[in-house]
Amino acid sequence: MTDRYAVIGNPVAHSKSPLIHAAFARQTGQKLVYERLEAPLDDFVDTAAQFLAMGGSGCNVTVPFKEEAFRFANLLSDRAELAGAVNTLWLDDEGVVGDNTDGAGLVADLLLHTTLAGKRILLLGAGGAARGVIAPLLDEEPASLCIANRSADKAVALAGHFAELGEVAGMGLAGLDGQSFDLVINATSASLAGASLPLPASLWQTGPVAYDMMYGTQETPFLAQARAAGVQQRLDGLGMLVAQAAEAFYLWRGLRPDTAPVLTELRAQL
């Protein structure tokens, strides 16, 4: 029987994950099917449990369910435990295993374009997407990592959770006025909703690299903000998506696919 996988989210119709995993399967000679599942906002657990109970081998989890997936898993990897968020699930003899490949995917993509060691990094957002990338970013030994969120309390609490791993602080978006960074990463879902963030003009004055963890057929609102402010190096999250998917594929199948041709193929389709 062909193994079944899925990506679960809301919304999820835009997801390129089925195309990515189909390409990985062709490249590595694996037989599998991969589908999209849109879970009701209040019913992630039943959607995931039913998929696995009906023969699903594993699934990826996207916004806004990564923290719920963390609570759903019976067993957690060290990086998922630290993140408090899960984006990859699968079944083994002991139950549902949860891992987080977001950080590995983000760092792998960023390092193709810039360096992270010694840099001042700003991470926008304090939800599940942000939680999954903080430890891997700090592993690269930046000079500092600032987490900024609409709710300052949530950002401060998240920074405290990772304080032992490096120089990390949290604040509200209003606290960014007058500060400068080398790299600004958008981990909010604002771009998915087609919305801009209330960011001060001073944020862009030093010409940081702008990276949106979201992607689309058109420029995201966050990257449009950066372009309007004169930022030259602007990157979307398609490379991160492919890299984190490769990590998930490796966890599921024990094979590590080549991401470069898959990313090129996806870019051509956007």
Catalytic residue among 31, 66, 119, 154: 66
Q: Which two tokens mark 243?
A: 């890299």
Cis preceding linkage at 64, omega within 30: yes
The verdict on whether residue 215 carries a ligand-binding annotation is yes
The verdict on whether residue 55 carries a ligand-binding annotation is no
The verdict on whether residue 127 carries a ligand-binding annotation is yes
Is 31 a catalytic site residue?
Answer: no
The verdict on whether residue 149 carries a ligand-binding annotation is no
Residue type, 25: A
The enclosing H or E element of 251 equals helix 238-253
Furthest-apart CA atoms within the chain: distance in Å? 59
The verdict on whether residue 213 carries a ligand-binding annotation is yes
The verdict on whether residue 15 carries a ligand-binding annotation is yes
The verdict on whether residue 191 carries a ligand-binding annotation is no
The enclosing H or E element of 54 equals none
By CB neighbour count within 10 A (0-12 exposed, 13-18 middle, 19+ buried), where does 153 fall? exposed
The verdict on whether residue 117 carries a ligand-binding annotation is no
Q: Which two tokens mark 109?
A: 């993509």
The verdict on whether residue 237 carries a ligand-binding annotation is yes
The verdict on whether residue 139 carries a ligand-binding annotation is no
Q: Helix, strand, coil shares of the chain as percentages rounded to 5?
A: 40, 20, 35
Q: How far apart are the first and last CA of the chain?
A: 33
Binding residues for NADP(+): 78, 125-129, 213, 237
Binding-site positions read 15-17, 62, 78, 87, 102, 125-129, 213, 215, 237, 244
Query: Binding site for shikimate, residues?
Result: 15-17, 62, 87, 102, 215, 244
- Positions marked catalytic: 66
